[in-house]
Amino acid sequence: MDILYLLIPLSLVLVLLIGAVFWWAVDNGQFEDLEGPAHRILHDDDRPSP
Amino acid sequence: MPSASLLDTPETCFHCGLPLPAKIAYRVVVDGTERPMCCAGCAAVAKTIVGAGLVDYYRNRAAFPDPGAAIPGFVDELAAYDLPDLQRGFVHEDADNAAEAALLLEGIRCAACVWLIERRLRQLPGVLDASVNYATRRMRVRWDAARIKLSRILTAVVEIGYRASPFDPDKAETARRAERRQSLKRLAIAALGMMQVMMFAVPTYFASEGEIAPDHIQLMHWASLLLTVPVLLFSAREFFVGAWRDLTGHRLGMDVPIALGIATAFAASAWSTLAARGEVYFDSVTMFVFLLLAARFLEQEARSRSGDALERLTRILPERCRRFSGYPASRATHPLATARLAVGDHLLIGTGERIPADGMVVEGIGEADESLVSGESRPVCKNPGDPVMAGAVNLGSPLVMRATAVGTQNTVAQIARLVDRALGEKPAIARLVDRAASWFVLSVLAVTALAAAWWWATDARQVLPVVIAVLVITCPCALGLATPAALAAASHHLVRRGLLPTRANAIETLAEVTDIVFDKTGTLTRGTPAIMQTTLLGALSEGEVTAIAAALEESSRHPLGKALHAAAPAPYAATHLIAHSGAGVQGTVDGIVYRVGTLEFVRGIAGTGRPIEPQSIASCTLVALGSKQGWLALFYFTDMLRPESCAVVTQLEAMGKTVHLLSGDSPGIVAHIATEAGIARGRGGASPTSKLDYIRALQAKGAVVAMIGDGVNDAPSLGGAQVSVAMGSGTDVAQSAADMVLLSSDLHVIPEALRIARSTRAVIRQNLVWAAAYNIVALPLAACATVTPWIAAVGMSLSSLIVVANALRLVPSGAAAARLAHTSPHPALA
């Protein structure tokens, strides 16, 4: 069970990472508009402009 | 790919969907097909969209754009936004010459609009980024000030058929957003900490003694400790700050036992970890903090949702206006940010423009749609000297006005402040609960000390778990949240319906009302005269006489004249109009001279022969119409009951309320109106004092009186009644004396509000009973060491969440809310 000595610290690092990503997301305004992006994905255009 | 969108029909303008004129002058090739356009504006917009390669907009859109937005000529004014003076208010410059501004967008109808605007702006050289928030209709745009001007960006938005105006998010708004972000972060950190600590804690719940190696347990304890530290320092910070504030203020609030519980549990666990023996409660600490924060977050959201309606109310004012630089000498106007307006400025209000400040008409005759503030949907005629209010829309010809109240002094800002006051004031019951909470906290601390002493004597190992469990489980949060959560949800619902609660205990009192006293004029009735009956005396039909009278009264400023003019569309044009003050108007229609006015005035032209004896109708004013050929018609005017009055009175009586009618009008008229509305108790000829006496007499008999009125003469009785509602169209005095303001002027809201108030009271009672019962059961359990700290945390948090969830039942559900928004007579609040 010595693997725990690796896995538990690893889990701490992961939590830290997830926390940082969430922190960034909040600061970046990802949670401000929960309605628009759902529509936006529907009309992205991948044809080149004339 | 099929180019036809859902909205493609041949008879309408391809761009805006309005019917096409008979002769189509504008055509634009869209996606290979020639499409008809209704006007040059739409054609220009369509050409721009196609030219920019954004034809996908037409494929994806789900709604036509706002036709009003495509106004050419608007572009010239945008150059003003390049002035540094004007930009200072809303443009923020950061390093590298990049400027950033928040813009408010008008004309967004569907998500395709968002796509179109973002694409178009990002195509412009020099625009670094543009992102539109579909929910709030706002856009953030960043641009390189050296390469592109702001006016060019704004013009690009106008060219594709929208309007962008600078939006200066005020401090309160910025603060609220920052607060929400901060709460989200606290919640997330607590959630992450809780989940991970739980991972380390769960094995120890189930493992029997010695099954997990002590080294491994110690490792998990250390990991839990590391995870709990940020939860404690960051997420739980506000509890410690709150507790410290309470203690330094010599009060005992709810934060005290919470902070004490968290701190004790953490200190004990940290000591166990360092000493490598004993129990740890990191799981309890993190879960406790998370659940508490979740409950608070929900409450905050419920509160800010009711604040949203308020924000929309203040946002309604235009960002810019046109000021005369040297009125009346010079007629030149220049654009000015509304925030910079000063009292005494002369402004030009064009047709269809919103009035930026309270003021007085100086020149021009217009019609103002004041439905935003008064709820009265009919436009009000504005002549020189008439007051106009901020937020109203000028529907008539352009007006010159002088500003008399700007910024925080204008009507809209005042309404916002009235609501602020209500939200800020603590209702009586909440104050009582706060005081009770202090005693509650004190007794909890006493019980904790007793339990600790007893367990110290019997089983010293149990002292810490018991102390923690008691402190945690008896958190008075549920008690404290019970009332404010329910009231916040109820005010939210009421504001949606167009009823603004301006004092905090209005909702509670409304639930106990037994008697409802209506004022007559302007409350049960419309307050403006309307034709009740027309008696024909000549050969002309009713339609003709009304049309002739309407034509004669075209420019009348008399209320009866206005009512007559409003009664019919005027197919006739009257010439040679001569107004005889206090008598009537004479004019020529189709070569025949007519007179409309008092009986005596018309007799002057129609001959001495009296018309048929006019039947006397109580409460009616008589206007006659005649020509040289003789009498034509008699119009009976009366102050008509609002269409909903009878139904509302019936509903209220069905709810077991006693309805009264009080008025300063003559008793005969009041009796007539009372019968018509179905009110048994009416009193006429009442002075402001006798109205108040009437209410006092009712109160002396034990009645809880709700007064509904609108005039200055109602103000004392509005103040004297236990709860009062002022009509939104009423006077300021009435509104500031009242507990609630009926913005929509729709009386249907009154019975609805009574129902909401009753369910609010029920919810508050359920919450209080639940919180008290929970504590009565939980406290002895915890003191007897039958509850472990983590169960205590779950129980405590659940009790708070149940309270909040119960309160949220008062907020109309999504579907119901959408229906309300659709039918609400009050667009700004919907």
Q: What's the predicted TM-score (pTM) here?
A: 0.54
Q: What is the pLDDT of residue B561?
A: 74
Compute CA distances B358 → B207, B298, B317, B410, B494, whole Å: 74, 38, 11, 5, 26
Strands of B499-501's sheet in order across:
B499-501, B740-742, B723-727, B705-709, B515-519, B658-662, B681-683
Closest CA to B41 of B22, B18, B61: B18
Non-local (6+) Cβ contacts of B393 within 8 A are: B352, B353, B354, B355, B368, B369, B372
Long-range CB contacts for residues B82-86, cutoff 8 Å, separation at least 24? B82/B149, B82/B150, B82/B151, B86/B335, B86/B337
Nearest to A4 among B133, B192, B216 (CB): B216
Question: Under a CB-based contact definition with an 8 Å cutoff, are residues B594 and B631 in contact?
Answer: no
Measured distance CA(B289)–CA(B255) in Å, rounded: 12
| Mutation for testing the B interface, residue in A16, A21, A26 having most B CBs under 10 Å | A26
For B218, the closest chain A residue by CA position comes to: A5
CATH number of B528-641: 3.40.1110.10
Give contacts of B133 with chain A, Cβ < 8 Å: 32-33, 36
Q: How many A/B residue pairs have CB atoms within 8 Å?
A: 78
Cα B402–Cα B502–Cα B697 angle in degrees, nearest 5: 115
A26–B188 C-beta distance less than 8 A: yes
What's the average model confidence in pLDDT over B458-469? 80
Q: Taking 50 as the threshold, does the pLDDT of residue B69 lie above it?
A: no
pLDDT in tens, B262-307: 888 898 889 889 988 777 888 878 877 887 787 677 666 655 554 4
Residue B328: asked if its preceding bond is cis (omega within 30°), the reply is: yes
Tokens of B132: 């539109």
Catalytic residue positions of B, numbered: 519
User: Where is pLDDT greater, at B37 or B74?
Assistant: B37
Å between B130 CA and nearest CA of chain A: 14
CB atoms within 10 A of CB B536: 15
Residue B147 touches chain A, beta carbons under 8 Å:
no
* Same fold yes or no, B320-409 and B528-641: no
- Most B-contacting residue of A1, A2, A4 (CB-CB within 10 A), to test interface: A4
To the nearest whole Å, the CA of B213 is away from the closest chain A CA by 9
For chain B, the structural domain boundaries read 26-169, 320-409, 496-525+642-753, 528-641
Q: What number of other Cβ atoms are within 10 A of residue B526's Cβ?
A: 20
With H, G, I as helix, E, B as strand and everything else as coil, classify residue B471.
Answer: helix
**Angle (CA) B212 B217 B221, round 5°:** 160
Nearest to A49 among B53, B181, B226 (CB): B53
**Residue B579 phi, psi dihedral angles, 5° rounding:** -95, 130
Model confidence at B311, pLDDT cuts 50, 70, 90, reads low
CA distance A30 to chain B (A): 10
Per-residue pLDDT, B640 = 77
The residue of B49, B59, B192, B301 whose CB has the most chain A CBs within 10 angstroms, and thus the best one to mutate to test that interface, is B192
Domain B320-409 has CATH 2.70.150.10: yes
Q: What span, in angstroms and rounded, lies between the C-alpha atoms of B649 and B322? A: 47
Contacts of residue B679, defined as CB under 8 A and 6 or more positions apart, other chains included, come to: B518, B649, B659, B660, B661
Task: Look up residue B258 and give its two tokens.
Answer: 């919470």
Region B785-809: mean pLDDT is 76
Nearest CA in chain A to B134: A36
pLDDT tens track for B97-134: 788 887 877 777 666 777 788 888 888 888 888 888 76
B628 in reach of chain A (CB within 8 A): no
| Rounded distance between C-alpha atoms, residue A15 and residue B194, angstroms | 11
pLDDT at B72: 47
pLDDT beyond 60 at B146: yes
Average pLDDT for B510-520: 87
Evaluate the CA torsion angle B104, B105, B108, B111 in order and state its sign.
negative
Average pLDDT of chain B?
76
For the domain spanning B26-169, the CATH number is: 3.30.70.100
Tell me if B188 and A33 make a contact (CB, 8 A cut-off). Answer: no
Sort strands B91-93 and B499-501 into parallel, antiparallel or unpaired.
unpaired
Put simply, the chain A residues between 1 and 50 with a CB less than 8 A from any chain B CB are 1, 4-5, 8-9, 11-12, 15, 18-19, 22-23, 26-27, 31-36, 39-40, 42-45, 47, 49-50
Q: Which residue has the tokens 């909401």?
A: B756
User: What does the pLDDT read at residue B103?
Assistant: 80
CB–CB of B448/B467 below 8 Å? yes
Residues of B in contact with A27 (CB under 8 A): 181
CA pair distance B750, B752, nearest whole angstrom: 5
- Can you give the length of chain A in residues? 50
User: Rounded mean pLDDT of B689-696?
Assistant: 83
The whole-number pLDDT of residue B377 equals 45
Q: What is the pLDDT of residues B32-50, one digit of tens each?
A: 888 888 777 777 778 878 8
To test the contact with chain B by mutation, choose from A21, A28, A32 the residue with the greatest count of B C-beta atoms within 10 A, namely: A32
Q: Which of B132, B188, B227 sits opposite A22 (nearest CB)?
A: B188
Chain A environment of B200 (Cβ under 8 Å): 8
Task: Give the pLDDT confidence of B233-257 residue by residue, as tens digits.
Answer: 999 998 898 888 878 877 676 678 7
Is B188 within 8 Å of chain A by CB?
yes
Superfamily of domain B496-525+642-753: HAD superfamily/HAD-like (3.40.50.1000)
